[in-house]
Amino acid sequence: MFTKLLRAPVALIAALMLSASPVFSQDDLIAIDVLILPDAKMIGEAKRWNAMMREQSPDGFELDEEHAPHVTLIQRFIARSDLEKVLEAVDEVKSTFDLSSLEMTAIGLYHIPIGSNGLAGIVIEPTEELLSLQQAVIEAVNAYARNGGDESAFVPDQSGTPFDPILFEYVETFVPQRTGEKFNPHVTMGVAPLDWLEELEEKPFDDFTFGSNGIATYQLGNFGTASMRLDQGH
């Protein structure tokens, strides 16, 4: 009898502990990108490269409102219910950094292989200022990071192109795999055949500088594109 009486409160405490710890299904998560919006100079360059790439891969995406050119600072899965808290935390970072004077330098091209194609980008020099900004965003956002996101966390791809599970791993491991010394700031240009991209990257690249139009938070789409802005009104 004494053993049975002990088991009841222990079971009750365990149940209360479980109820106090939120359990998120994949449908409760969204994939976000806290990013730098580049100025007209970079947008023009990215769209110029994108047009050339779409000549090689007509099914590739076009840089537009649902595929906004940007420089990613952090990508994470978060609970949808935490979005407002995340936006407020990012606002604190915005108030600390003066991005109107931020100058960035494009220094080359690179790509990530995806089958016979590659997802290509313009590489940005990782300056101390960019690293400091990224670290501030990590400290603001990372407490809300969740694991286990899948396709349902992203903006649906209207073209019907399937999501590669590599993208889910990329977002989930962005911190620490793509931060600090591993940070590779870039502006994604589009998709093109691997052999064409490799030949392109062997050609001389003319460095250029560009500025910033501020920080924004987007929900990610396929290929890690900035598809839907989430911070309007902040």
Strands in 71-79's sheet, in edge-to-edge order, are 145-146, 71-79, 29-38, 212-220, 226-229
The answer to whether the beta carbons of residues 211 and 38 sit under 8 Å apart is yes
Q: Please list, in sequence order, all residues whose beta carbon lies within 8 angstroms of the beta carbon of residue 27, skipping any fewer than 6 positions away.
A: 152
CB atoms within 10 A of CB 126: 18
The answer to whether the beta carbons of residues 43 and 70 sit under 8 Å apart is no
Helices 128-141 and 83-96: angle between axes, nearest 10 degrees? 150
pLDDT number for residue 25: 59
Q: Please list, in sequence order, all residues whose beta carbon lies within 8 angstroms of the beta carbon of residue 94, skipping any fewer than 6 positions away.
A: 214, 215
Write out the chain's pLDDT in tens, 234 residues: 333 333 334 333 334 333 333 445 556 999 999 999 999 999 999 999 999 999 999 999 999 999 999 999 999 999 999 999 999 999 999 999 989 999 999 999 999 998 899 999 999 999 999 999 999 999 999 999 999 999 999 999 998 999 999 999 999 999 999 999 999 999 999 999 999 999 999 999 999 999 999 999 999 999 999 999 999 887
DSSP 60: S
pLDDT number for residue 19: 39
Query: What CATH number belongs to 26-229?
Result: 3.90.1140.10
